[in-house]
Chain A
């Protein structure tokens, strides 16, 4: 059978961001996939040369809008560790609450896009309607829907009032019940299963060796979640990593569905245990030395490396985002599948190209 090379992307109806894949196809079956990047690279790491380390918080929030809060938390957490700054307990809880709210809206966004990816528009609209409640919480508590910008060095800049806490709890009740009402559609529907079960296989060994991250790793049976590192207030909250074992697109979507409910539970736990006290401390001095920080984004493990030289500018800032880690596994998932399944399998890693290129 003759080989054909089919360009997939950079602009494609199912992908809101540009990535190009050169797909070698034989008889409608993909035999090789070579990724190409470079459409949205912004050189954000390099901006630490001209923005001081406080201003860089706003820069890292713009690595990815959907994970903005978690980028900023990872950045602040890493530098605070380097500078030995003790963050107040209430600030740690607030960081946890907003970061888990981010995970909820990110997973709902993805579940909707995934449904849209295989033509299930009604499910897409339902999931995004539910997501609006979380966006409203973000807007009411931080002033912004997506880039919430609550982190500062030494804590957070916004607090939650008792009225807001009661309202968030009641809204989460609705998010949870509305999401559970869709559970059988998301997990048991014929269309969903037909398009996802057995598609884009990644074995446990492959996921580990290829450095997969987040739901892509956990969907292949590996119980690893950076929240177990107990940053922010996670040491005080009860949770277990969500794991599925089949390693296909269906397993990855199941992980995200279950993690959405888990995050709602974590927000609830954090709101119930929210301690009183200060929400930030004043930070003096400049970072010096080297450090790394890791947190769990909706898409997986986020890694930051810092090198400071005692000035207000970092000497080096390195950001390794989860999609960057999940592209080599994607190059292994695609060979062997039908051409028609490529969009669904690409979506199954929840790609964020803006993160990948920074």
Chain B
């Protein structure tokens, strides 16, 4: 077995554009009008208080990502009224990370995957208390 070629170590960073809660919807609307399609949302647990929400878009196989730093205690704005496709993944994040989304067009209220007796947010490393959907 050959050795892997070693190059100068560089930690890869995902190229993202940072957005705030207030301007998220405007940015989503802009991307939509520029012809980008939603690929998915990714929730990354950061610490006890925050998660990162990554919004991944594609146009002609080129990807762009928006990153929103989201406090766990506040609801995030749902983009499902702009892009219907987001409803499923927003519900998934609600289940797995306990983040609430305001204005979800189809809200499973934390029970897309989970049963009523589940008290923890299963994908959070730092938080165990499950919140109710708004």
Would you call B11 and A289 a contact (CB within 8 A)?
yes
Would you call A210 and B84 a contact (CB within 8 A)?
yes
With A283-B4, A305-B42 as given contacts, are A38 and B113 in contact (CB-CB < 8 Å)? yes
Count residues of B near A (Cβ-Cβ below 8 Å): 43
Would you call B40 and A325 a contact (CB within 8 A)?
yes
Scan residues 27-79 of chain B and give those whose CB is less than 8 A from a CB of chain A.
Answer: 32, 37-40, 42-45, 54, 56, 60-61, 63, 65
The answer to whether the Cβ of B129 comes within 8 Å of any Cβ in the partner chain is no
Would you call A284 and B4 a contact (CB within 8 A)?
yes
**Taking CB as reference atom, which chain A residue is nearest B54?**
A305
Would you call B56 and A38 a contact (CB within 8 A)?
no
Would you call B1 and A280 a contact (CB within 8 A)?
yes
The answer to whether the Cβ of A6 comes within 8 Å of any Cβ in the partner chain is no
Distance, CA A292 to CA B106, complexed state (A): 28
Residue in A46, A85, A290 whose beta carbon sits within 8 Å of that of B123 in the complex: A46
Would you call A301 and B39 a contact (CB within 8 A)?
yes
The answer to whether the Cβ of A45 comes within 8 Å of any Cβ in the partner chain is yes
Interface of B is mostly: loop
Distance, CA A329 to CA B37, complexed state (A): 13
Contacts of A88 in B (CB 8 A): 2
Would you call B123 and A45 a contact (CB within 8 A)?
yes
The answer to whether the Cβ of A8 comes within 8 Å of any Cβ in the partner chain is no
B89-126 CB mask vs A (1 if < 8 Å, else 0) is 10000000000000000101001111100000011010
**Taking CB as reference atom, which chain B residue is nearest A41?**
B113
Contacts of A210 in B (CB 8 A): 84-85
Write the nearest CB–CB distance from B44 to chain A, whole angstroms: 5
With A282-B1, A284-B4 as given contacts, are A208 and B89 in contact (CB-CB < 8 Å)? no
Contacts of A278 in B (CB 8 A): 1-2
Distance, CA A235 to CA B56, complexed state (A): 24
Contacts of A184 in B (CB 8 A): none
Would you call A289 and B12 a contact (CB within 8 A)?
yes
Residue in A209, A290, A294 whose beta carbon sits within 8 Å of that of B83 in the complex: A209
Write the nearest CB–CB distance from B43 to chain A, whole angstroms: 8
Scan residues 220-238 of chain A and give those whose CB is less than 8 A from a CB of chain B.
Answer: 224, 226, 228-229
Would you call B4 and A281 a contact (CB within 8 A)?
yes
Interface of A is mostly: mixed
A189-230 CB mask vs B (1 if < 8 Å, else 0) is 000000000000000000011110000000000001010110
**Taking CB as reference atom, which chain B residue is nearest A318?**
B42
Contacts of B9 in A (CB 8 A): 84
Contacts of B38 in A (CB 8 A): 211
The answer to whether the Cβ of B19 comes within 8 Å of any Cβ in the partner chain is no
Scan residues 245-303 of chain A and give those whose CB is less than 8 A from a CB of chain B.
Answer: 278, 280-284, 288-292, 294, 301, 303
Contacts of B45 in A (CB 8 A): 316
**Taking CB as reference atom, which chain A residue is nearest B44?**
A316
**Taking CB as reference atom, which chain A residue is nearest B62?**
A229
**Taking CB as reference atom, which chain B residue is nearest A279?**
B1
Distance, CA A41 to CA B118, complexed state (A): 14
Q: Which of B12, B63, B108, B114 is the most central at the interface, judged by chain A CB atoms within 10 Å of its CB?
A: B12
Would you call A328 and B84 a contact (CB within 8 A)?
yes
Would you call B39 and A320 a contact (CB within 8 A)?
yes
Q: Which of A38, A46, A49, A228 is the most central at the interface, judged by chain B CB atoms within 10 Å of its CB?
A: A38
Contacts of A327 in B (CB 8 A): 88
Name 22 A/B residue pairs within 8 A (Cβ), A-sorted.
A34-B106, A38-B115, A45-B123, A46-B122, A49-B125, A81-B12, A84-B9, A209-B37, A211-B37, A211-B39, A228-B61, A278-B1, A283-B4, A288-B12, A292-B14, A292-B56, A292-B65, A294-B63, A305-B56, A324-B88, A328-B85, A357-B113
Q: Which residues of B contact A (CB under 8 A)?
A: 1-5, 7, 9-14, 32, 37-40, 42-45, 54, 56, 60-61, 63, 65, 83-85, 87-89, 106, 108, 111-115, 122-123, 125
The list of the 4 closest CB pairs from A to B, nearest first, reads A289-B12, A211-B85, A320-B40, A290-B14
